[in-house]
Structure 1
Amino acid sequence: MLDRRLTPATDRVALESLRGIVERPDYTAGQPARLAVSVADLLTAPDGKRDRQVNFGADLTVIDRRDGLAFVQAALDGYCGWLREAQLTADQTPITHRVSAPATHIYPEASFKTPEKMLLSLGARLSVDAIEGRYARLTCGDYVPIQHISDQLSPDPVAVAEMLLGTPYLWGGNSRSGIDCSGLVQAALTACGIACPGDSDLQRLAFPQVTEIQRGDLLFWPGHVAMAASADLMIHATAWQMAVIWEQIPSAIARIDAAGDGPLLGVHRPA
């Protein structure tokens, strides 16, 4: 059975690649698009709940449109969902940089004294065409501080996750404004160039299991994932504290078991 989250098909149209696999009235090659707002919810249905989120600059394939909404598939991890058409742009200018700070702002001029236009979160993708002093000029004509962007991958996913300490917990969240356990792991690994699915059950399937915990390993419980900073310490986004926190691994295992949310399912190591 196909996973709804990763199946680029609605009740009336599917991607051409699914012809012969799923039966629909119509098929499409899809239309390329890019997210033009800070962050957008991917909904389970046009009137559904949030499954995940996508950040500014995310490349998407539009599969279906109805009533001002678009059904899309994210290039990052194959996740599918509905969002508002107005949040999309057809601009496909090559991406050159990403936001490497927890968050930053877009400004209309190369000055922090001008009113900001948008908040961007870690991992937002940018098209930069010039550097002007302490600012990078985007191809759209706006500016971001050069201290907050990079054209290089990060070397350590734990250090990336640590930048998001204190970020509020948000079910399905993928931004500095709110993030959940699998969103934190995906943000940290993606910043290091490691492909990572969007949800914890998919992440557990994506990486091999190991027996000893080392820095960067992922610890899985039913519906939850954390990242090890060492054999005894982990970082995770948790509804227990409604934030991204450090927690000792032995005490976390005991606490989660006592709450009835265990057991620990295993430790897995990203490539």
Structure 2
Amino acid sequence: MTRACVTKPVVDLLRNPDGPRDRQLLYGDAVSVGDQSGGWCQVISDKDGYSGWLRTDQLGPEITSTHWVWAPATHAYAQADMKSPDQVCLSFGSRVEVMSQKNEFVETSLGFIPAVHVKPVGTLVNDPVAVAELFLGTPYLWGGNSRFGLDCSGLVQVGLLACGVPCPGDSGDQERVLGSALPQGSDAQRGDLLFWKGHVAWVSGDNMLLHANAHHMSVVFEPMDQAISRIAAQGDGPVTALKRF
């Protein structure tokens, strides 16, 4: 396998060439490249081991990322000036190589990014729910992993990866490997994960959930008892697990 990095702000990781989106990768995400055919390549993502297909023109040589975007989203500008033309918009978690700093901006190959929007690689945060709260109001997108759209498992993954906690991309795998299961009837607390078949939500506080869901088509706060009743009523079954880190 060869090594490469994603060179577009957000790319769809497809089940097969021209197939459905399973997940997404962000600018600067490192991948191992395997089979290639007809302008497509099969890759394995470093950050979670997810495998899928990308167009070859969405990849470039591996770079040495020095910083990651920790604002929900940011712009790269043509000059170190917020009034200069914006070149591209990057989502939380994108990885960039900073070459220098000028005024209140860092210089990258994409342009100048506000210095307050990036942190050095290796800098971690300590509250995954607080990270997830940055995405409040983000549109729901099946398989999405960015500020421009994400799904329930994407919202869980973005919070945990920012805290340095390994996290798979799908809710079923998350239920299987994350945290420790609590006995039925346990009181939930902030930072717990509530699972259904095919769905997951953060517990954000007393009787409150934070989740990306197709009912609201966005990331929302929702009372826990209301969500449990609604999900059961729509035919998606009961809660399958309450997990704690």
The equivalent position to 1:202 in structure 2, one of 156, 159, 173, is 173
* Change in 2 beyond 3 A, CA 1:122/1:141: closer
Q: CA deviation at 1:60?
A: 0.3
Q: How does 1:47-126 map to 2 (within 5 A)?
A: 47-93=18-64, 95-126=65-96
| 3-state SS of paired residue (1:240) | coil
* Change in 2 beyond 3 A, CA 1:141/1:255: closer
Q: 2:66 & 2:181 partners in 1: Cα distance?
A: 34
User: What runs of 5+ residues in structure 2 fail to find an aligned partner?
Assistant: none
Query: 1:12-64, CA deviations, whole angstroms, 9 ceiling, x for partnerless residues?
Result: xxxxxxxxxxxxxxxxxx10000011000011111211010001110000001
Does 1:229 find its partner at 2:243?
no
Check whether the contact 2:128–2:191 (CA below 8 A) recurs between aligned residues. Answer: yes
Q: CA deviation at 1:141?
A: 6.4
Q: 2:78 & 2:242 partners in 1: Cα distance?
A: 46
Q: Which residue of 1 aligns with 2:234?
A: 259
Q: 1:91 & 1:157 partners in 2: Cα distance?
A: 28
Letter in 2 for 1:96: T
Q: Considering only aligned residues, what root-mean-square deviation do their CA atoms show, in Å?
A: 1.2
Query: 1:62-91, CA deviations, whole angstroms, 9 ceiling, x for partnerless residues?
Result: 001111111100000100111111111113
Bigger drift between 66-75 and 109-118 goes to 109-118
Q: Which residue of 2 aligns with 1:215?
A: 190
Q: 2:126 & 2:151 partners in 1: Cα distance?
A: 22
Does 1:149 find its partner at 2:118?
yes
Q: 1:121 & 1:260 partners in 2: Cα distance?
A: 34
Letter in 1 for 2:170: D
Query: 1:228-255, CA deviations, whole angstroms, 9 ceiling, x for partnerless residues?
Result: 1124111000000000000111111111
| 3-state SS of paired residue (1:51) | strand
Q: 2:203 & 2:53 partners in 1: Cα distance?
A: 33
Q: 2:6 & 2:17 partners in 1: Cα distance?
A: 18
The number of equivalent residue pairs is: 239
The equivalent position to 2:9 in structure 1, one of 38, 42, 59, is 38
- After superposing on structure 2, the runs of 4+ consecutive aligned residues of structure 1 that deviate more than 6 Å are none
Check whether the contact 2:63–2:97 (CA below 8 A) recurs between aligned residues. Answer: no
Q: 2:133 & 2:9 partners in 1: Cα distance?
A: 21
Q: Which residue of 2 aligns with 1:244?
A: 219
Check whether the contact 2:11–2:58 (CA below 8 A) recurs between aligned residues. Answer: yes
Q: 2:29 & 2:182 partners in 1: Cα distance?
A: 32
Q: 2:27 & 2:110 partners in 1: Cα distance?
A: 16
Q: Tell me which of the two structures has the higher relative contact order, counting C-alpha pairs closer than 8 angstroms and 6 or more residues apart.
A: 2
Q: 1:220 & 1:231 partners in 2: Cα distance?
A: 17
| 3-state SS of paired residue (1:128) | coil
Q: 2:191 & 2:110 partners in 1: Cα distance?
A: 38
Q: What is the TM-score when the length of structure 1 is the normalising length?
A: 0.85
* Change in 2 beyond 3 A, CA 1:133/1:206: same
| 3-state SS of paired residue (2:132) | helix
Q: 1:197 & 1:231 partners in 2: Cα distance?
A: 27
Letter in 2 for 1:148: H
